[in-house]
Amino acid sequence: MFQESLSFMTRVGAEIGHVLDDLAALRIRVFRDFPYLYEGSPDYEKEYLKTYIQSERSFMFAICHGRQMVGATTGLPLVDEMPEIRQPFEQAGYDLSTIFYFGESLLLHEYRGQGIGHRFFDEREAFARTFQTYTLACFCSVDRPENHPARPVNYRPNDGFWLKRGYRKEPALQATLTWPDIGEDTSSPKLMTFWVKEL
């Protein structure tokens, strides 16, 4: 529907800083939905995204409709991620220098169902493989109970899509991240489970 009017951009390392405001705004908008229910703020987002600007091998692939960023996906070497993300792999004895971490995949609702989710994974996997040092890709997703009061009736998790992409869920690899849910004044802990795939 929108494919002919979309444009694409790739940014690496410090270049991501040039579109930081757009990326932060998109994260806040998309992660407000279930299952993340994220009550975000621009200041927090910019602080978090400094990790990507400081990494020489960080990656962002974004989709724009006109001047608006409507989708984006990111990644960076696991060794450059924050301690909470690295810790499960360190404790399990993984060689972090061989792992590439996939951050968010963000896409506004009206642009979904056109294969862009696959494009996001294609772009990140291809970028990680260019270095010939990463043998494993990983990402994490939040665990919410099936009876969560904010869970939409028609909600479908992405597990089936991730399985088709060749990723496997590793319940032994879990992290705890904190952020404020919608309506909360302070951050609360959220359990995150990792998915992995050999590159």
- 7-66, pLDDT tens digit by residue? 999 999 999 999 999 999 999 999 999 999 999 888 888 888 999 999 999 999 999 999
Cα 16 from Cα 23, distance rounded (Å): 9
Q: Read off the pLDDT of residues 17-30 as tens digits, 9 standing for 90 and up.
A: 999 999 999 999 99
Distance CA 170, CA 195 (A): 6
Give the residue-averaged pLDDT of 75-97.
Answer: 97
Instruction: State the CATH class of domain 7-198.
Output: alpha beta
Calculate ∠ Cα 39-45-46, nearest 5°.
155
Helix axes 42-54, 20-30, angle to 10 degrees: 120
Residue closest to 102 by CA, chosen among 162, 14, 39: 162
